[in-house]
């Protein structure tokens, strides 16, 4: 794997973690924990935004480019 792809996957890990963490606070019950600085219960589920980023990274790894027309 190239250094560029390695960096992309490291960024993807951060994106997925942040996305899943932030997504937990859309529930009213979890907002109270935010004020109390408590971590929400697991699992932390990611959203379609992260799923799209995973797909882009996989496409880049396999093809070296993204062609939005195909």
Is residue 70 domain-resident? no
Is residue 68 domain-resident? no
How much is the pTM? 0.74
| pLDDT tens-place string over residues 26-56 | 877 777 777 888 888 888 898 999 999 999 9
Is residue 31 domain-resident? yes
The count of structural domains within the chain is: 1
- Average model confidence (pLDDT) across the chain: 88
Which residue would you say has higher pLDDT here, 24 or 19?
Answer: 19
Distances (CA, A) of 51 to 12, 13, 19, 32, 61: 10, 12, 10, 28, 15
Is residue 69 domain-resident? no
Task: Give the range of the structural domain holding residue 35, as residue numbers without chain letter.
Answer: 3-63
Is residue 40 domain-resident? yes
Residue 56's pLDDT is: 93
Q: What is the mean pLDDT of residues 2-24?
A: 92
Is residue 55 domain-resident? yes
Is residue 51 domain-resident? yes
Residue 66 pLDDT greater than 90, yes or no: no
């Amino acid at each position: 794997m190239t250094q560029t792809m390695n960096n992309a996957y490291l960024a993807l890990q951060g994106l997925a973690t942040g996305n899943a963490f932030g997504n937990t606070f859309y529930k009213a019950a979890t907002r109270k924990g935010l004020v109390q600085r408590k971590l929400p219960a697991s699992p932390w589920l990611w959203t379609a935004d992260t799923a799209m980023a995973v797909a882009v990274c996989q496409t880049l790894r396999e093809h070296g480019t993204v062609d939005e027309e195909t």
